[in-house]
Structure 1
């Protein structure tokens, strides 16, 4: 019953907030974000993060001031969406501050990655902080990178949460899932609006959504020895690798690493489909996101079946990276 109420309230928030923003011509994507205008020439509210954060903070029951951390990371993102926080270095510093606050207040750490030497390093307090902050920053920024076509970001985390809920149910794990069900309900509502390009998530949305999901994945990874840490890595491989690959690609091309560009995998797919299909751009954008997420959902299911098999899970990650690179360079050559 609670989930139905969440869906209804999120639905009306989408209608009301988008109407107000369009009416006031506020928080509208126009010229600041070439990766969004790349797939759409329409004036679209960057309201996904605002709607998600209001819904999340209204329904979710957090401990240890986690709500304040979520608001802080959203606030950093919304300043970026408003083009008020222009400096990527200031933005990165504020991201670090928010993530450090989360780790410090909640004492969440990654306890093991099943490599003895690395696990020994994780026994040192400073390294524990560094590693978990590094992982969450990669997730946050990688999630922001994949928020370039409709449904991709929201659909990705819908898939991740769905797999977590199935895992907890199948193995009867002692893991509280009420908050995850609420997040799933909010994202499901947002997915519908995002499919029809009624809003973009923006930096505020990608930061808040990924940080919350990342937090629960760390809790899950430390819950039971049956869960290999590489199962968690499988669930997050795409935004993480997108972030790392983009940094390497820009470094090789001698571009500024912090500068936005239109050469991500989902954007190359969008260009390819645009040349092959005679649909509106928003339809192609949404279908691009759904295609990538369908692939990832299949990967997630295979990982779920092998949740404790570290060698198989590592192999899955390696094959994903090889497949990503292959598709990327094939598309790159085709759309020159």
Structure 2
């Protein structure tokens, strides 16, 4: 598996370099986008880093098809095409409506079901699991899960190294459990993705030479979601709360943002704002911890991500430790959500900043 990791790493590394070198003036963030509520960079930057990750995956799939003669990799690749291509089209044109991208995610979810027979069979809650015996309901929940995780990775893709390292942490957790249950497809794809994302990471962190983009974020989120469902469906010893706790940081970010916008602010949950958790870390935590002036956007941007890497690990570490124990995983899921809300409220009310000031005296 190490050979796949290194191969995908170098393919992605070279692919992203080519994008930076030759296409930076074509696929870029225009100057008119610098002042949006979710923009924290100050120079034109290629936004199609996901191409490097996707090409690395495609080459690995081609190799496995030719030399291993295993069609499951090809079917997985085909299933990912709609969600990746429409995300990439949005990166290039900035004109693909959210509804169209949602339809692409639904199509990818349907392809996963029809080509790979992958669908959610249980969620680890007595009696509720009975409804998943109805195939239509199981498939609908699977599609919602695929679209939700893909969107979750896209939402946290706001700072250099954030979505990429969080995704690598998640894939490491999935690879570990895949190895424990002897599922070669699960851990092979996980290592391919880790290598591809790492190749992108070299160019993205800390200087932000290239961005992941919607295409890359959707593709990574799609892959995480599908591997998670496959683990739960094919291996009864894996608790369905394992993948949930593994992705709890980005997923709860989406759920909490919807609640905050809709019920606390009375506005559309789809309307962007500057109050996501990672944005508050950027605005109200990093300047206090590192004494970085607010005008130094690049330094603050790169200093933000390590805080979120740590918070992500609060979910993935116990998930890996107790991947078979549903009760313990549920407890850690609840604890993470409580900690997230407590920390968010503390930052919003400037309590966290005052705590840091006190500690530094």
Q: Does the pair score TM above 0.5?
A: yes
Find the counterpart in structure 1 of residue 323 from structure 2. 307
Contact (CA 8 Å) 1:112, 1:122: kept in 2 or not?
A: yes
Give the distance between the partners of 1:36 and 1:50, measured in 2 at CA. Answer: 22
Give TM-score scaled by structure 1 length. 0.91
Find the counterpart in structure 2 of residue 217 from structure 1. 228
Alignment partner of 1:317 out of 333, 339, 351: 333
Give the distance between the partners of 1:255 and 1:324, measured in 2 at CA. Answer: 22
Say whether 1:204 aligns with 2:219.
Answer: no
| TM alignment of 1:30-69, pairs within 5 A | 30-32=31-33, 34=36, 36-37=38-39, 39-60=40-61, 61=64, 62-63=72-73, 65-69=75-79
Give the distance between the partners of 2:253 and 2:117, measured in 1 at CA. Answer: 28
Deviation per CA, 1:286-314: give whole Å up to 9, x if none: 23222211232243122221112211110
Contact (CA 8 Å) 1:234, 1:303: kept in 2 or not?
A: yes
Give TM-score scaled by structure 2 length. 0.85
Find the counterpart in structure 2 of residue 173 from structure 1. 182
Deviation per CA, 1:138-160: give whole Å up to 9, x if none: 11111111111111111111001
Deviation per CA, 1:108-130: give whole Å up to 9, x if none: 01111122322111011210111
User: Aligned pair in 2 of structure 1 residues 153, 113: CA closer, same or farther (>3 Å)?
Assistant: same
Give the distance between the partners of 2:29 and 2:312, measured in 1 at CA. Answer: 30
Give the distance between the partners of 1:273 and 1:30, measured in 2 at CA. Answer: 27
Give aligned pairs, total. 332
Say whether 1:242 aligns with 2:253.
Answer: yes
Query: Where in structure 1 are there 5+ consecutive unaligned residues?
Result: none
Alignment partner of 1:123 out of 133, 136, 144: 133
Give the distance between the partners of 2:222 and 2:261, measured in 1 at CA. Answer: 25
Contact (CA 8 Å) 1:149, 1:285: kept in 2 or not?
A: yes
Say whether 1:271 aligns with 2:287.
Answer: no
Contact (CA 8 Å) 2:38, 2:273: kept in 1 or not?
A: no
Give the distance between the partners of 2:339 and 2:237, measured in 1 at CA. Answer: 28
Find the counterpart in structure 1 of residue 273 from structure 2. 261
Contact (CA 8 Å) 2:48, 2:91: kept in 1 or not?
A: no
By relative contact order (CA 8 Å, sep 6+), the higher-ranking structure is 1
Contact (CA 8 Å) 1:18, 1:47: kept in 2 or not?
A: no
User: Aligned pair in 2 of structure 1 residues 75, 282: CA closer, same or farther (>3 Å)?
Assistant: same
Give the distance between the partners of 2:242 and 2:109, measured in 1 at CA. Answer: 22
User: Aligned pair in 2 of structure 1 residues 274, 255: CA closer, same or farther (>3 Å)?
Assistant: same
Query: Where in structure 2 are there 5+ consecutive unaligned residues?
Result: 65-71, 354-361
Give the distance between the partners of 2:184 and 2:100, measured in 1 at CA. Answer: 36
User: Aligned pair in 2 of structure 1 residues 291, 226: CA closer, same or farther (>3 Å)?
Assistant: same
Contact (CA 8 Å) 2:118, 2:233: kept in 1 or not?
A: no
Give the distance between the partners of 1:69 and 1:27, measured in 2 at CA. Answer: 27
Contact (CA 8 Å) 2:162, 2:305: kept in 1 or not?
A: yes
| Range moving further from structure 2, 263-272 or 46-55 | 46-55
Shift of 1:7: 2.1
Say whether 1:330 aligns with 2:346.
Answer: yes
User: Aligned pair in 2 of structure 1 residues 10, 91: CA closer, same or farther (>3 Å)?
Assistant: closer
SS at match of 1:42: coil
User: Aligned pair in 2 of structure 1 residues 53, 29: CA closer, same or farther (>3 Å)?
Assistant: farther
Find the counterpart in structure 1 of residue 310 from structure 2. 294
Give the distance between the partners of 2:214 and 2:30, measured in 1 at CA. Answer: 12
Contact (CA 8 Å) 1:35, 1:148: kept in 2 or not?
A: no
